[in-house]
Structure 1
């Protein structure tokens, strides 16, 4: 298949993806006023959590029972709904997949039109198409880190509210009103779910599922056990907060001790791609032998596999769990 035929095919795929995406976005924007009001109160939007589905089908179940093809695929196989929710990205899974496809097609077309070998076209599409997913993962990681740093202060605030005679729900409302994002919106959503009639246990379980934080899971377990067996919840929360702070101190010490190893890993992993780019610029024909010769292709595949294995080994060495 020549280059003259590949370019029209890629352009047709891009136009088809754009038309299909517009149709899906128009189809997915028909939520009723009832669902919009519930989404504003609970922050669930068009999709609701499974725990809320057990409690109330009106609150949790979307009123549109015919989602788009991309929506169904993303929810069933990729679990993008949870990723986007944890990253606080206000996009439906279908729109997110659409953006990924469009960027992949644009990257492929750009590499086709560039004055380089067409072997780089799939690489360009994969590189540009991976941007949305990498952005979502980065944002989720940053949000999780911010939440973990705020959690000890939030637990101490709830403990003081309990000692002052307030209820646990009032403590959640205090955290939502006094603290910054992201912990304010998460505890505020938990508080609103209780106001809508969802039991405390299910609201806490939903909170722990939205935020993949082990300390938050400890907090939810402690609250549920205290409600079943009794005890001083304020004292328990103080101990959990102190435990989290001590672990942060140890984590900082470990990060300082492993800093040299992490920096060495970054340099070693970045050196082969950087050297490849320099050689491609200086001696194009020399690098193209890797793509034209059968032995060169095998060497490329072997080098990529070894690069991935090296990254995994380095990550295992410097990643010490605290």
Structure 2
């Protein structure tokens, strides 16, 4: 099989994956929002089931592809939970198709442009992993913002309980008086209770959607209080004070380890920067690392050393509170 045919086939697959992902995006956004919301909260998915039953014979083979992709991905990782934690309204199959399309496009472009062969997988992997990196970054930012909002939310619920309101009313107060992401999550928990889901299940679902240890403490405290009794308002005040003290200690640690983190960034960025400079100043001399057998071994050793150094530096400066 010729190189031109391989490029054409890969390009066709990439375009098909991108078009399929974008098409699924528009199809999912055109669904009835209220029915999908109700199906998601109740866990039954009645609206989605009815839509699948009413699908035509032509669309059924197309619908089997996303299901097969989701089933295959679920064997390795819970991608749907990751997307839910990042608040990304996208099916896992669509996410995989877009990532695969970017991977194929990134692999084809260097070949068409006449770049070195080793750059094709490097650029392809970079583009293919870009959606995952964006989702992880959004998940981390959402998680950090939720953690900063949690003490204020706990105090708000505590004041609502002291004023004679129920716990569900406190959740509703958080959803209306505060901003996302904590308003969205507590509002969803409040809606689940209105639909008849027990408080224990709603809190457990909230703790699974938001991977926060303090939130897990809150959920456990509420469940135990409902079973054994006690002053829930006082418990929430203590949890809120504990979270605030933890943030205070974390800020002090960040200030003390700032020099180490900056040194690590400089040390890790220095070899790649020098490589790019040498590649610009003396291309033939730098290409020895890719052409000479000893140069290849040196390059592999340098990359491994960089990775080990990055892990060691991260272990030193990353102190959990």
Flag whether TM exceeds 0.5 (same fold).
Answer: yes
2:310 matched residue in structure 1:
311
What's the secondary structure of 1:78's corresponding residue?
coil
Cα displacement (A) at 1:115: 4.6
1:82 matched residue in structure 2:
81
Cα displacement (A) at 1:61: 8.3
1:12 aligned to which of 9, 13, 29: 9
Is the CA contact (8 Å cut-off) linking 2:24 and 2:94 kept in structure 1?
Answer: no
1:98 matched residue in structure 2:
97
Cα distance change on mapping 1:195 and 1:214 into 2, 3 Å: same
Distance (Å, rounded) in 1 between the aligned partners of 2:228 and 2:292: 71
After alignment, is 222-231 or 74-83 more displaced?
Answer: 74-83
**Structure 2 length normalisation: TM-score?**
0.88
Cα displacement (A) at 1:27: 7.0
**Structure 1 length normalisation: TM-score?**
0.88
Distance (Å, rounded) in 2 between the aligned partners of 1:147 and 1:20: 34
Distance (Å, rounded) in 2 between the aligned partners of 1:34 and 1:268: 50
Q: Which runs of 4+ in 1 moved over 6 A?
A: 27-31
Cα displacement (A) at 1:312: 0.6
Q: Confirm or deny that 1:320 pairs with 2:282.
A: no
Distance (Å, rounded) in 1 between the aligned partners of 2:130 and 2:20: 23
RMSD over aligned CA atoms reads 2.6
Cα distance change on mapping 1:131 and 1:23 into 2, 3 Å: closer
Is the CA contact (8 Å cut-off) linking 1:157 and 1:175 kept in structure 2?
Answer: yes
2:34 aligned to which of 23, 34, 37: 37
Deviation per CA, 1:130-184: give whole Å up to 9, x if none: 1111111111000000000000000000001111111101100100011001000
1:173 matched residue in structure 2:
172
Distance (Å, rounded) in 2 between the aligned partners of 1:25 and 1:72: 20
Structure 1: 5+ residue stretches without partners: none
In the TM superposition, what are the counterparts of 1:236-275 in structure 2 within 5 Å? 236-275=235-274
Cα displacement (A) at 1:310: 0.7
Is the CA contact (8 Å cut-off) linking 2:13 and 2:101 kept in structure 1?
Answer: no
Is the CA contact (8 Å cut-off) linking 1:172 and 1:187 kept in structure 2?
Answer: yes
2:153 matched residue in structure 1:
154
Is the CA contact (8 Å cut-off) linking 2:14 and 2:105 kept in structure 1?
Answer: no
What's the secondary structure of 1:122's corresponding residue?
helix
In the TM superposition, what are the counterparts of 1:48-63 in structure 2 within 5 Å? 53=43, 57-58=44-45
Distance (Å, rounded) in 2 between the aligned partners of 1:262 and 1:276: 22
Count of residue correspondences: 309
2:133 matched residue in structure 1:
134
Distance (Å, rounded) in 2 between the aligned partners of 1:108 and 1:120: 8
Deviation per CA, 1:233-277: give whole Å up to 9, x if none: 000000000000011100000000000000111111111111111
Deviation per CA, 1:42-100: give whole Å up to 9, x if none: 7x4xxx7xxx65xxx45698665954332222333232111111111121111111111
Is the CA contact (8 Å cut-off) linking 1:11 and 1:109 kept in structure 2?
Answer: no
Cα displacement (A) at 1:20: 4.6
What's the secondary structure of 1:77's corresponding residue?
coil
